[in-house]
Amino acid sequence: MAASGKKVLLTVHDGLSARIFFDCGIATMLEEALEGRLEIVSTFDIAEFADWSARVKTARIRTLQDLLSGRPRSTLRASWDAFLDQRIGFLPLAIRFNLRHGLHRERMEKGHSNGFLDSSRIGPLPRWDVCYRQMFRWMYGSSRYLHPALGRYLENEVSAVVSSHLQHQSTVPFILGAKRLGLPLVSYIASWDHLVGKGVVYPGAQCYIVQNEIMRNDLVRYHDIDPGRITVTGWPQTDIFSVRRPRSRYIELLASYGLDPAKPCVLVTGNSVTNAPYEPAFFKRLLEWWESGDGKDRFNLIFRPHPKDTEWQQRYSVLLERPRSGVYLQAPTYLDLEILALMLQHVECVVTNAGTILLDSLVNDRPAVSVLYDEGAPPGESHAMKNVIGEHYKEMLESRAFHRAMNFGDVARAIDACLEQPQELAAERAAVSRRIVGVVDGGAAKRVVGTIVASLRESLDGSAFSIPKRAPRALPKGALAANR
């Protein structure tokens, strides 16, 4: 085993994966299970998320910049590596992966603001299989630049690496370091859609943790990962949803928003700027319809921007310019998972385009409307529809578990149907939840921790670690297809 005192390093790379690991209790349970030997490094500015830092007691949380500041660096080699990465590295390889497997072809265009969909980033090499394979080898090869300070840190202070988001570009240096030093690497796949459009998967991890059987199959089919190294644990975010919250707390929330608790609520959730550039026109149209008829007398509207929407004040300006009784606009954040769970257990209707929030709604048995058109868009634009044609959406679209809106008239009729007949699609919601998410028993995060610690114990000195009794073993294959 590595020298005494070395840490197990958990790397967090963005708000999405950090929320899963901190809010769902994974980091806290890991800290307990590893008995003070957990260290956390964030590759983004986690300082603004003080609530997450408070979830761990003894584990040191550092940023990547903390590790690299004031240390010497090979500027020429680092620059050359960055130059190559833009042409044959992370994004060029991701684009080629998508084209190779026919993923998101319809959404790709030159200059797309989403790097995974910007076809101009494919790089200068021909689209031959031999080029793809060579690019893949270079991506995780020995010729890649590794900052010497990071290399020393991993060598001197780290005994194993746990990645909270394997397919993030900032994960690559840690993968390179772990590979060169022979450190065990345990990899969590951050979200249900990442394996079919968000880049390649490093094949050298000893364990891959996924949420469901669909993701297990995707790892095998698209990424050639040995099924024996894949563990299905369930979706940790559903642990939050599995705890029922009294309606009295929901009523208190509505009162704090200045909304009438006696009225039903329609939750309108935004997508990202990249995926839904025409949403502001839809928000305006929805408000006009709500104000001009009897909507304002029948139900409240709560608008929830996407956590990544940095332009939310401009995009939701129609709400900010003139406050309305019966309408509330939340601020975008990754830190209100408890509030989201409270709303998804009690609101009468969810209006959204696509994304995880649609799945969240179905898991919580909320009547939902998927907006599949672009209000006010020029002819030929179809961002909303293209957002749901990815491989990971096939199961949901085939389910008929939610209302589909191809124009605003459909939106209005679907909202009325949700409010008047909330149980209409309940069976379909339950069925698709079982197929995509599986069992919701509050134990997914514990299974993630149990899998991580068991994997580390097999590689390191088992006396250093113990699986907590409260952390169930990972689910056997097929278990997540069981009824809730």
Tell me the domain boundaries of the chain: 7-72+147-238+442-481, 75-139, 244-436
- Asked, colleague to colleague, whether 7-72+147-238+442-481 and 244-436 share their fold, the answer is yes
Give the helix ranges, DSSP H, for 331-479. 337-344, 356-363, 383-386, 394-397, 408-420, 426-436, 444-459
Cβ atoms of 442 and 450 closer than 8 Å: no
- Sign of torsion over alpha carbons 415, 417, 420, 425: negative
Separation CA 450–CA 23 (nearest Å): 17
Between 3.40.50.150, 3.50.50.60, 3.40.30.10, 3.40.50.11720, what CATH number should domain 7-72+147-238+442-481 receive?
3.40.50.11720
How far is it, in rounded angstroms, from Cα 370 to Cα 355? 10
CATH topology classification for 244-436: Rossmann fold (3.40.50)
Which segments in the chain show pLDDT lower than 70? 1-4, 47-49, 70-74, 391-392, 458-484
Percentage with pLDDT > 90 across the chain: 66
**Under a CB-based contact definition with an 8 Å cutoff, are residues 399 and 428 in contact?**
yes
Determine the pLDDT at residue 113. 80
Distance CA 465, CA 475 (A): 21
Contacts of 462 (CB under 8 A, 6+ apart): none
Instruction: Please spell the DSSP secondary structure of 272-310, one letter per residue.
Output: -TTT-TTHHHHHHHHHHHHHHSSHHHH-EEEEE--TT-T
Sign of CA dihedral 39, 45, 51, 52: negative
Strand partners, 431: none
* Contact predicate 26/449, CB 8 Å: yes
Q: What is the pLDDT of residue 143?
A: 92
pLDDT of amino acid 126: 95
Residue 455: other Cβ atoms inside 10 A: 24
Element (H, E) at 112: none
Q: What are phi and psi of 138, to 5 degrees?
A: -65, -40
Q: Write down the pLDDT at residue 465.
A: 45
C-beta separation of 21 from 27 below 8 A: yes
Token pair for residue 149?
Answer: 């300070």
The answer to whether residues 400 and 425 touch, using CB atoms and an 8 Å cutoff, is: yes
Pull the structure tokens for residue 241: 């949803």
pLDDT, position 193: 83
CA pair distance 331, 321, nearest whole angstrom: 15
Two tokens, residue 51 = 């609530």
Judge whether 480 and 444 are in contact, CB under 8 Å.
Answer: no
Q: Quick one: which H or E segment has residue 132? A: helix 129-139
Q: Which pLDDT score, from 0 to 100, does residue 483 have? A: 27
